[in-house]
Amino acid sequence: MKKILITGSKGYIARNIAARLKNCDLFLVDRSMLDLENNKEVDAFFENRFFDIVINTAIKGGTRLKPDQPEFVFKNCLIHFNLLRNNKMYGKYISLGSGAEFDRLNDITDINEKKSLPIDPYGMSKILIANTGKEYEKFYNLRIFNIFCEDELPTRMIKSNTLRYIKKEDIIIHQDKLMDFMYIDDFIKILNFYIDNDKCPKEINCTYKKKYLLSDIANIINNLSNYKVNIQIQCDQVAKSYIGKYELDKLNIEFGSLEMGIKLCYDYYLRNGQ
């Protein structure tokens, strides 16, 4: 049974990883238990512990709900460097990367991913983490664009509009755009592959092959039952794309689909509410 450290354990992604990983000995830490920005505290934590896998989900910034701060670049990199410095005390370091590495001020597509460098604090920290980690044999970057599931915030696009659909209210899109989403169970399949296999790509995009506009996703939601609601797109202009090149064929895993994940969320909300 592999011993796995998950940092940032109170966060959305971390708690859903912890709930779904099976046959593992999980060690969960949050900032109240371990200050990952404190090098002495991190060194002391690892002094008499060895983990097969470290999954780092601890991060500052990247949410629409709070503005990014310049110091997030330093803080996020400091967490990363403190973990890297203790690389002798674990077998593999899995970092949760982000499409923001490619610069959200421009179109991020499956064709022009690497044409621009980010200047926002969150994006800067993510690309610095990805690029410095590459120098270490034990480091792997799972690049996330959007992960959704039943547990996500009710303000998120898929959950908010699925709940609106159930209430027979209008589905609302602020601005249409191409955007990648992946259901949490499929992301866990990727994570399990990296946990169980010695030979893995150093970095990989966690995206489905098929790409969707937000309006396409709205139509998927609008066909979950035998009735239709109105779909409001509040801005006529299409926003910048946020999609990644499909790379998961490298793993030879059978995945579900965006439609399947939305249906599972819908069924859950019908049974349990939000």
C-alpha 248/C-alpha 253 separation (Å) is 8
103 band by pLDDT with thresholds 50, 70 and 90: confident
Instruction: Specify the DSSP class assigned to residue 169.
Output: P
Query: Same structural domain for residues 8 and 120?
Result: yes
Between 108 and 124, the more confident residue is 124
197 is a domain residue: no
C-alpha torsion 22→23→29→30, nearest 10: 0
pLDDT at site 20: 96
State yes or no: pLDDT of 273 exceeds 90: no
pLDDT at site 43: 97
174 is a domain residue: yes
Query: Same structural domain for residues 136 and 7?
Result: yes
Query: Same structural domain for residues 224 and 265?
Result: yes
Instruction: Tell me the CATH number at 159.
Output: 3.90.25.10
Query: Same structural domain for residues 50 and 12?
Result: yes
pLDDT at site 112: 56
Largest pairwise CA distance in the chain: 59
Query: Same structural domain for residues 129 and 235?
Result: no
pLDDT at site 115: 67
Query: Same structural domain for residues 136 and 156?
Result: no
Sequence-ordered strand ranges (E) for the chain:
2-7, 24-29, 51-56, 90-98, 139-144, 147-148, 171-175, 182-183, 203-206, 231-235
Three-state SS string over 82-145 comes to HHHHCHHHEEEEEEEEEHHHHCCCCCECCCCCCCCCCCCHHHHHHHHHHHHHCCCCCEEEEEEC
238 is a domain residue: yes
10 Å CB burial of residue 114 (0-12, 13-18, 19+) is: exposed
Helix axes 258-272, 184-196, angle to 10 degrees: 120
- Domain that includes residue 236, residue range: 152-179+209-243+257-272
> What is the residue-averaged pLDDT of the chain?
94
Instruction: Tell me the CATH number at 92.
Output: 3.40.50.720
Give the residue from 120, 144, 168 where a domain finishes. Answer: 144
Query: Same structural domain for residues 164 and 118?
Result: no
Query: Same structural domain for residues 137 and 6?
Result: yes
How much of the chain, in percent, has pLDDT values that exceed 90? 88
Structurally, the chain folds into a number of domains equal to 2
65 is a domain residue: yes
State yes or no: pLDDT of 91 exceeds 60: yes
For residue 272, how many other CB atoms are within 10 A of its CB? 8
Query: Same structural domain for residues 131 and 15?
Result: yes
State yes or no: pLDDT of 113 exceeds 70: no
pLDDT at site 258: 98
pLDDT at site 193: 97
225 is a domain residue: yes
Give the residue from 90, 124, 144 where a domain finishes. Answer: 144
Query: Same structural domain for residues 123 and 157?
Result: no
198 is a domain residue: no
Instruction: For residue range 153-178, list pLDDT tens digits in order.
Output: 999 999 999 999 999 999 999 999 99
Give the residue from 144, 171, 200 where a domain finishes. Answer: 144
68 band by pLDDT with thresholds 50, 70 and 90: confident
State yes or no: pLDDT of 219 exceeds 90: yes
Between 19 and 104, the more confident residue is 19
pLDDT at site 114: 64
